[in-house]
C-alpha cells in the first residue's frame, strides 16, 4: 500500500490547470455550456413564455428577468467564487423561477395543446440539475493533482454482466413513460397528483432496476434460485390475485 508520505516525496509542482488564471467570460460560459444551454431552454419554455402571456403581472416578469440574470452570471463567477456561483446558479435561479410561477398562478398551467413543451422543459431542468454535479475543468488531469497518492489502479471486486447497461437503460426509459403520461392530465389538481405519482414510481423503478442490473450474474452474492422464488412468492401471489379479480370484474361488468 502506498504510504501517504509518498505524495510529499514525489510532490510535483502544480500544473497550470490547477492554478486559476481567471478564465475569460466567454470561456467561462463555454465551460458551463452543460448547464447554460439546458437552463436557457428550461427558462424560455417554462418561465419566459408564461410570464409574457397576456395578463401576466409585471412582478412575474421582474422575477423572470432575475432568474435569467442568475442563470447567466453563475458561470462567470463559479471559477473565481465557487460558492457564490453555485448559490446564483442553483438557489437564485430556481428560487426566482419558482417565484415567477407562484406570481403567475393559474397562468403557469400550459394549454392542453403544449404538453410536449412542458415535458421538454422538465427534461431541461433535469439536465440543468445534473450539470451542476462535480465536474473537472477542461484540460485537467486528476492524476496530476499535487495531493494525489500514487499507486496502481484499483480493480473492481466484481465485473458487471455484459447486458447490465442495456437492462439499466431499458429500466430508465420505461420509468420515464409515467412521467410523460402525467403531462397529458388536463385538470390542474389531478395533474399535480399524477406528476407526484409518476415521479415516485420512476424513483422506485430506477432504484430496483439498478439493483437488478448490478446483481445479474452475481451467483455468490445471492441465495439459491428456489429460495429467491420462495421469498417472492407472497407478493407474486397477491399480484396474481389482483389480476384475477380485475379479470373477473371485466367479465362480470
Partner 1 sequence: MSKVVDALSILLVLGASLAFAVGVAALGERRDLAAIYWLAIGGLVLRAAVELLRPRSSTR
Nearest Cα residue to 50 out of 37, 72, 75, 67? 67
Q: Does 116 bind partner 1 (CB under 8 A)?
A: no
Query: Which is nearer to partner 1, 23 or 217 (by Cβ)?
Result: 217
Q: Smallest distance, Å, CB 109 to partner 1?
A: 15
Contact set for partner 1, span 200-219 (CB under 8 A): 201, 204-205, 208-209, 211-212, 215-217, 219
Q: CA 171, CA 91: separation in Å to the nearest integer?
A: 31
Q: Which of 229, 244, 247, 248 lies at the binding interface for partner 1 (CB under 8 A)?
A: 229
Q: Which of 6, 232, 247, 248 lies at the binding interface for partner 1 (CB under 8 A)?
A: 232
The three grid cell numbers given for residue 236, joined into one nine-digit string: 407474486
Taking CB under 8 A as the rule, which mask of x and - marks residues 157-186 in contact with partner 1? ----------x--xx--xx-xx--xx-xxx
The three grid cell numbers given for residue 133, joined into one nine-digit string: 454535479
Q: Smallest distance, Å, CB 126 to partner 1?
A: 18
Sequence-distant contacts of 211-216: CB under 8 A, at least 24 apart: 212/167, 212/171, 213/160, 213/161, 213/164, 213/165, 213/167, 213/168, 213/171, 214/160, 214/164, 216/160, 216/161, 216/163, 216/164, 216/167
The three grid cell numbers given for residue 17, joined into one nine-digit string: 490547470
Binding site for partner 1 (CB under 8 A): 167, 170-171, 174-175, 177-178, 181-182, 184-186, 190, 193-194, 197-198, 201, 204-205, 208-209, 211-212, 215-217, 219, 222-223, 225-232, 234-236, 238-239, 242-243, 246
Amino acid at each position: 500500500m502506498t504510504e501517504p508520505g509518498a505524495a510529499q516525496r514525489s510532490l510535483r509542482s502544480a500544473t497550470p490547470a490547477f492554478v486559476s488564471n481567471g478564465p475569460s467570460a466567454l470561456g467561462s460560459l463555454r465551460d458551463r455550456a452543460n448547464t447554460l444551454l439546458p437552463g436557457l431552454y428550461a427558462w424560455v419554455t417554462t418561465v419566459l413564455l408564461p410570464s409574457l402571456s397576456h395578463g401576466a403581472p409585471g412582478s412575474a416578469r421582474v422575477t423572470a428577468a432575475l432568474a435569467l440574470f442568475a442563470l447567466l452570471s453563475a458561470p462567470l463567477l463559479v471559477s473565481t467564487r465557487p460558492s457564490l456561483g453555485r448559490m446564483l446558479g442553483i438557489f437564485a435561479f430556481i428560487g426566482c423561477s419558482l417565484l415567477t410561477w407562484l406570481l403567475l398562478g393559474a397562468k403557469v398551467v400550459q394549454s392542453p395543446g403544449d404538453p410536449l413543451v412542458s415535458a421538454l422543459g422538465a427534461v431541461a431542468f433535469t439536465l440543468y440539475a445534473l450539470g451542476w454535479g462535480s465536474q473537472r475543468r477542461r484540460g485537467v488531469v486528476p492524476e496530476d493533482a499535487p495531493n494525489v497518492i500514487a499507486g496502481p489502479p484499483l480493480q473492481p471486486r466484481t465485473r458487471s454482466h455484459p447486458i447490465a447497461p442495456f437492462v439499466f437503460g431499458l429500466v430508465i426509459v420505461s420509468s420515464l413513460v409515467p412521467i410523460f403520461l402525467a403531462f397529458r392530465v388536463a385538470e390542474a389538481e389531478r395533474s399535480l397528483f399524477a406528476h407526484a405519482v409518476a415521479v415516485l414510481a420512476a424513483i422506485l423503478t430506477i432504484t430496483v432496476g439498478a439493483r437488478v442490473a448490478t446483481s445479474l450474474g452475481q451467483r455468490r452474492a445471492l441465495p439459491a434460485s428456489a429460495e429467491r422464488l420462495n421469498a417472492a412468492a407472497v407478493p407474486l401471489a397477491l399480484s396474481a390475485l389482483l389480476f384475477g379479480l380485475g379479470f373477473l370484474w371485466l367479465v362480470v361488468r
